[in-house]
Amino acid sequence: MNGIYSIQKFSSLDFPGRLCAILWFSGCNMRCPYCYNKDVVFGKKQIEEDEVIDFLKTRTGLLDGVTFTGGCPTLYPNLINFSKKIKDMGFEIKLDTNGINFEILKEMKDKNLVDYIALDFKAPPEKFEQITKNRHYEKFESTLEMLINSNIEFEVRTTVHTDLLDENDINKIITILKNKGYKGTYYLQNFFETDKETIGNIGPQKRKLDLSLLDNSIPLEFRNF
């Protein structure tokens, strides 16, 4: 069953402006070739909610929030109730998501259970299924539109491996973001080279993205380039 897989007890980097703990949730509805979290994506529940709550009781006043990541936290069957417990303790919640589970994300938003969302824009529509092995681009698109039209603090980001995405693909994503009225910064994250085996057994990039070819008519920031 999808569940809490592991906990990182402290991060000052993951949740913008806040000190946080990070919870990793097992399972995912995508299979991105560059994903190096195979153990989490194919893993099972390792930690009970009560253990997390007991830990957070010791961090009241010391941490500002909790990041939910994975894997795909929206697959966790008790996400709504669990989030409410954490919010009731006074912590803010950041959610990392690929945006496919629109209904759960909408419920999280409508019930004020999420304070910050990091939304992965995996690929332009014509490459979405090829890269994610998930055919529901339209669900991601609904999530993107919902967030643009909400007051939730959020960011859009793309992981770049140039065997999969090139400058033209990134410029297509930028055009979509502009046309939909996205006002924030678009973060490009260079593929992180690691010894860990990736889902698609993809190797190192043969070249880096040429940043000078990107449409910079919206704010861009680059991570790990």
- Interacting residue ranges for ligand SF4, rule: CB under 6 A: 28, 30-32, 35, 37, 41, 70-72, 98, 199
Residue nearer to ligand SF4 on the CB measure, 56 or 117 = 117
Please list the alpha-helical segments (H only) found in 63-206: 79-88, 102-110, 125-132, 137-148, 167-180
Residue nearer to ligand SF4 on the CB measure, 45 or 178 = 45
Give the Cα separation of 158 and 174 in Å (integer). 11
What region does 187 belong to: left with phi over 0, alpha with psi -120 to 50, or beta? beta
Whole-number minimum distance, CB 63 to ligand SF4, in Å? 24
Whole-number minimum distance, CB 218 to ligand SF4, in Å? 23
Residue nearest to ligand SF4 (CB): 35
Give the Cα separation of 99 and 137 in Å (integer). 9
Residue nearer to ligand SF4 on the CB measure, 88 or 195 = 195
Give the Cα separation of 105 and 164 in Å (integer). 27
Whole-number minimum distance, CB 20 to ligand SF4, in Å? 19
Strands 153-160 and 4-11: unpaired
Whole-number minimum distance, CB 198 to ligand SF4, in Å? 9
